[in-house]
């Protein structure tokens, strides 16, 4: 697109420089020697090609391109000196028409390039939206998977905690049962000890009374 704009500027500049060169070269100068009819033939001799080359180079043409334009201009001026001013004007009109056609062509190319860039921009936006949607879907899928794993882990921990709590209760119940049995055994042993102690005391008392009776 930048090259097209540059070509348009060069064409405009050429269209403004060359007609002035044609007009100044084709116009016959007043002759003091009475040979004014040959003024158009001498226009090529008065044509300042060097200045026009410099002007075209300043306008962005390369020196080779500028020299080519000068050669074409010189040929046109030579033909103009032979066929007359009418043909020169037709050449100028033809050049302007070509310049206008070039402008139209460049304008169309710029519009096509703009449409292409707009289409590419729309495609890029569409692809970006698609990527954003895919990324959102993947994030949500990963999040849901993590939530499911977390819920499963929580359930497993609750189940493990329930098993441990049940085992603790079973151990506590067994310990309580054993303690109760030990208390029962201790109480029974205490009863037996008391009974044997009372029996022993009664026996000792009876023996003591019997001994007293013997000695009395």
3-class secondary structure per residue, 95-154: HHHHHHHHHHHHHHHHHHHHHHHHHHHHHHHHHHHHHHHHHHHHHHHHHHHHHHHHHHHH
Q: 102 with 8: CB under 8 angstroms? A: yes
Mean pLDDT of 28-45: 42
Q: How many residues does the chain have?
A: 216
Structure confidence at residue 199 as a pLDDT band (50, 70, 90): confident
What is the CB neighbour count within 10 angstroms for residue 73? 20
Tokens 């449409």 correspond to: 115
Tokens 């499911």 correspond to: 148
Structure confidence at residue 86 as a pLDDT band (50, 70, 90): low
Q: Measuring CA to CA, how many Å separate 35 from each of 24, 29, 38, 79, 141?
A: 19, 10, 6, 20, 98
Mean pLDDT of 72-84: 63
Q: How high is the pLDDT of residue 33?
A: 39
Q: Flag whether pLDDT at 39 surpasses 90.
A: no
Start-to-end CA span in the chain (Å): 153
Paired tokens of 34? 């009475």
Structure confidence at residue 134 as a pLDDT band (50, 70, 90): very high
The whole-model pTM stands at 0.33
State the burial class of residue 82 (Cβ atoms within 10 Å of its Cβ: 0-12, 13-18, 19+).
exposed
Q: How high is the pLDDT of residue 37?
A: 37
Q: 211 or 111: which carries more pLDDT confidence?
A: 111
**% of the chain at pLDDT higher than 70:** 71
Question: Lowest-confidence range among 58-62, 140-144, 166-170, 173-177?
Answer: 58-62
Give the domain ranges of the chain: 2-124
Q: How high is the pLDDT of residue 64?
A: 81
Q: How high is the pLDDT of residue 5?
A: 46
Q: Flag whether pLDDT at 144 surpasses 70.
A: yes
Indicate the DSSP class of residue 39.
T
Q: 165 or 81: which carries more pLDDT confidence?
A: 165
Burial 7-25, CB ≥16 within 10 A → b, else e: bbebbebbbebbeebbeeb
Q: 24 with 73: CB under 8 angstroms? A: no
Paired tokens of 48? 């300042």
Tokens 């309580």 correspond to: 176
Q: How high is the pLDDT of residue 124?
A: 92
């Amino acid at each position: 697109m930048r090259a097209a704009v540059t070509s348009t500027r060069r064409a405009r500049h050429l269209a403004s420089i060359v007609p002035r060169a044609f007009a100044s070269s084709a116009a016959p100068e007043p002759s003091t020697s009475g040979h004014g009819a040959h003024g158009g033939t001498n226009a090529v001799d008065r044509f300042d090609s060097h200045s026009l080359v410099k002007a075209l180079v300043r306008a962005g043409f390369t020196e080779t391109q500028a020299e080519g334009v000068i050669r074409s201009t010189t040929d046109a001026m030579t033909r103009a000196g032979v066929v007359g001013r009418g043909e020169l004007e037709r050449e100028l009109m033809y050049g302007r028409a070509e310049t206008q056609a070039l402008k139209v062509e460049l304008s169309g190319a710029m519009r096509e390039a703009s449409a292409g860039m707009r289409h590419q921009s729309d495609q890029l936006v569409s692809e970006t939206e698609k990527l954003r949607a895919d990324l959102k879907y993947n994030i949500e899928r990963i999040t849901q998977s993590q939530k499911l794993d977390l819920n499963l882990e929580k359930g497993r921990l609750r189940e493990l905690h329930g098993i441990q709590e049940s085992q603790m209760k079973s151990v506590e119940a067994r310990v309580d049962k054993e303690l109760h049995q030990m208390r029962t055994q201790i109480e029974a042993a205490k009863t037996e000890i008391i009974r044997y102690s009372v029996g022993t005391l009664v026996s000792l008392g009876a023996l003591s009374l019997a001994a007293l009776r013997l000695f009395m």
